[in-house]
Chain A
Amino acid sequence: MAKSKHPDPAANEVANGAVNTAPVQSPGRIIWKRFRKHHLAVISAVFLILLGLVAILAPMVAPYDYKTQDLGIGRQLLPVGTTGHILGTDELGRDILSRLIYGSRVSLGVGFASMAVSVIIGMVVGALAGYYGGVIDNLLMRFTDMILAFPALFLLIVLAAFIGPSPTTIILIIGGLSWMGVARLVRSSFLSLKQQEFSEAARALGLQDYRIIVGHIMPNAIAPVIVAATLGVAYAILYESALSYLGLGVQPPLPTWGNMLSQAQAYLLNAPMLVLFPGLAIFLTVLAINFLGDGLRDALDPRLKE
């Protein structure tokens, strides 16, 4: 979101060569200064850090275990605000809050791991295509086009159903189907970066290709990838939850926000609140990641601002 009408002072200082008078500004500081201005992104970052901590410390934070059933008569489908179960219980008398907290582990874990898989594949494919060009570029990019032509959700569903729904396979499937955007980004950065003087210098020094690619060109191509990776986590969380909702994702009793929603659907009439919380958890997390990505884009690559 382009909120500020005034030109960025940090960028100005650099452009005017104000480094002589002002204290030296490291690139990291300039980026941080720009990022700080996007208040929603900062709030989102804090929210996501807290959420991450809750996920890591789940056994300590959660009031109950995710499997623990309150076996008392009438302790199932308890409403919100019951003493002992702040967000109520599900159809088996399990504490909703505890299941949400444990669910965050799988949902966030799958989200981050899928993103990592997709970014690694995307960077390798993009770097090879962009750096070598020619036949390699042509083959890799036509392959990318082909995978892009498939409706992602269709492939996700069929692969998840046929290969089996463990967290690892879900991560590989989601990651394996979402690297194409990163590959295209990296390729186009490489196409222009490899023409620049510093790459020529690296080649003139006789460095091996992989050292030029990894050590010299990639660091300069990384900014848009960071933004894409952030948004990729949001997509992966949405995909995982959609698969789990369809019963093809991570299987119960291990809770994820998606499979909690899928189970809650059967109690739409008597306990509609069951549907509310897992969905809200997905929604707020994905929203925070999207705001964070927006802030990072403004900070890392101001040219991309609308």
Chain B
Amino acid sequence: MRTYVIRRTLQAIPLLLGITVISFLIMKLTPGDPVSLMSMSPHITPADLARMRHNFGFDQPVYIQYFKWLSALIRGDWGISLERGRPVIDIIANRLPNTLQLMAVSFVISVALAIPIGILSATKRYSWFDYSATTLSFFGVSMPVFWFGLILIVVFSVKLHLLPSAGMMSVGADSTDIFDRLRHIILPAVVLSLSGIAGWSRYMRSSMLEVVRQDYIRTARAKGLAEKVVIYKHALKNAMIPVITVMALEIPGFFTGAVITETIFAWPGMGRLYYDSVMSRDYTMLMAILTIGAGLVVIFNLIADIAYAFFDPRIKYD
């Protein structure tokens, strides 16, 4: 097991490096560097531009620029945001907690709904509940998230005046006012959890159906255990293994999904920051967020693999 963990971790390193190469190349190969945006100004002479390019290091070969960027990245120097003029890492440190908060609440909502729905669908297979859950999950994956968000705003903010449509807290509210914060997080968290609920409930259902077919479940029933004990003590534990793996694989999806959700609800997190940075061509910011996003995918892939090996002793990896 330990060698497996070490080997998988080592395998992730070239992947991470490749990711940094691609993020860097995308930024370099797209037309126009940040300096050329400033050349719109009549006060700047070509000599100024050349000097600025030299100062930023843009006049050096691409691979040298890459290695400089990479070594700085590893040392924790993520550069200065071109748009905001402050260190990238400070801005991210400021925004990341807001996104993590949103992700955590959405994750909890997704799990709390998907698991019970999946179990009920499987134990009451072909019942009206199962059919409605299936249909609803099709609705869930087919719904454009931003439309779902807008509809929720129209219903709950515009018509019913129940919940706020934007921001993390009311203007002038005390930042420790938990109730106010909860009211603000409900709509964006529901929107962000939509795909998790739809997808995971299906996984839970099919994984459960797979498990209840096994011999040890028949044995448990044959020795006269109550159906509840069979399902929740014997079947559920094993049915959860693949579901946990899928969840780990999809956690980075909450991070990406936040781009749209945070844009709709003006949530001051990483997603909104990414969108704003794209609009202002803030290259240093973008490279940092792209690398973090891709890094999260690699890390959670690794966690999923290791979790699978850990929870399922039938699988031997060496």
Contact = CB atoms under 8 A, between A and B. Distances in A.
Interface in A119-164: 142, 145-155, 157-159, 161-163
B139 interface: yes
A238 B206 CA distance: 26
Chain B interface size, as a band, is: 35 or more
B278 interface: yes
B294 interface: yes
A279 B151 contact: yes
The dominant DSSP class at the B interface is helix
Contacts of A248: 278
A153 B256 contact: yes
B315 interface: no
Interface string B17-49: 011001000100011100000000000000000
Nearest to B165: A268
Interface string A227-245: 0000000100010011001
A146 to B, nearest CB: 4
A149 B302 CA distance: 12
B58 interface: no
Interface in A222-265: 234, 238, 241-242, 245-246, 248, 258, 261, 265
Contacts of B293: 150-151, 154
B253 to A, nearest CB: 8
B147 A153 contact: no
B15 interface: yes
A197 B139 CA distance: 44
Contacts of A150: 19, 22, 290, 293-294, 297
A106 to B, nearest CB: 15
A198 interface: no
A205 interface: no
B220 interface: no
A157 B150 contact: no
Which among B32, B147, B255, B275 has the greatest number of chain A C-beta atoms within 10 A?
Answer: B147
A71 interface: no
A59 to B, nearest CB: 27
Interface string A272-304: 100110110011001101110010000000000
B134 interface: yes
Name the residue in A3, A149, A162, A269 with the highest tally of chain B Cβ atoms < 10 Å from its Cβ. Answer: A149
A151 B260 CA distance: 13
B64 to A, nearest CB: 22
Nearest to B21: A146
Interface residues of A, number: 47
Nearest to B207: A306
B286 A158 contact: yes
B279 A161 contact: yes
A1 interface: yes
Contacts of A265: 150
B4 interface: no
Interface string B115-131: 00000000000100000
Nearest to B153: A268
A268 B165 CA distance: 11
B199 interface: no
Residue of B22, B144, B274 with highest tally of chain A CB at under 10 A: B144
Contacts of B255: 151
B259 A161 contact: no
B298 interface: yes
A261 B275 CA distance: 18
B144 A1 contact: no
Given A261-B147, A291-B138, 19 more contacts: A3-B126, A149-B15, A150-B294, A151-B253, A151-B294, A154-B259, A154-B274, A155-B290, A157-B274, A158-B26, A159-B30, A161-B278, A241-B146, A242-B145, A248-B278, A261-B150, A272-B154, A282-B147, A306-B209
